[in-house]
Structure 1
Amino acid sequence: MTALNELRLLPWSGPGGKPCYLDTDDKASYMSRLADNIEAVQLGTAAELLKHAAETLDDQDAALEDLHPLARELAGSLRDVLRVAVSRGHLLEVSDPHRP
């Protein structure tokens, strides 16, 4: 059985919000490439959302009712980016040749 820290945390959740993991050594597999593509989309979306948030917060005429949906979108994007960071951090730990 593969240790949990050797599995790739996928950029989506399963039923009930539970994490999904991939067990493969093939970085070119369909699931690995799919996860890579989804992570790229999530990171791109986060960058666009951050730009939009900065513009909205700089706008003195921005309506307060616009901030709640913006905060909700930012929180969702932060969740996605954190999942990507955790996944990539685990991958770095496993692939580190200096790791004991």
Structure 2
Amino acid sequence: MATTRQDAAPNPEWVLMYRGGLSRRKIAALAGVPASTVGYHLRIACAADPLLRAAHEEATGNGASRVTAQGRERMYQLVTMVQETGRYPCRNAESTSERTLSLIHI
């Protein structure tokens, strides 16, 4: 019967890479292991350190910084319309600009 070597989880090197913003898939490619193995190690690490996911998200820049200038402008348009009319945009409005504003998901 063949035995396989089981490394202690979580792998500290992979945890550091994840904390630094690398994805599970990228870590797996660098380490030459399946992404599922890296995922297993990271699940254990995240259970032990509840702030690990937040550190990863901050390092990747995925968060509040994903707001685009165009999205911010659309939000300003929506707020202005609500302030001026006292109502939210309607999908059946005659105005094209109001109809498109009604499609914004907050």
Q: Specify which structure has the bigger relative contact order, considering alpha-carbon pairs within 8 angstroms and separated by 6 or more residues.
A: 1
More helix, by proportion? 1
**Fold match (TM-score > 0.5):** no
Is the radius of gyration larger for structure 1 or structure 2? 2
More strand, by proportion? 1
TM-score (normalised: structure 1)? 0.29
TM-score (normalised: structure 2)? 0.28
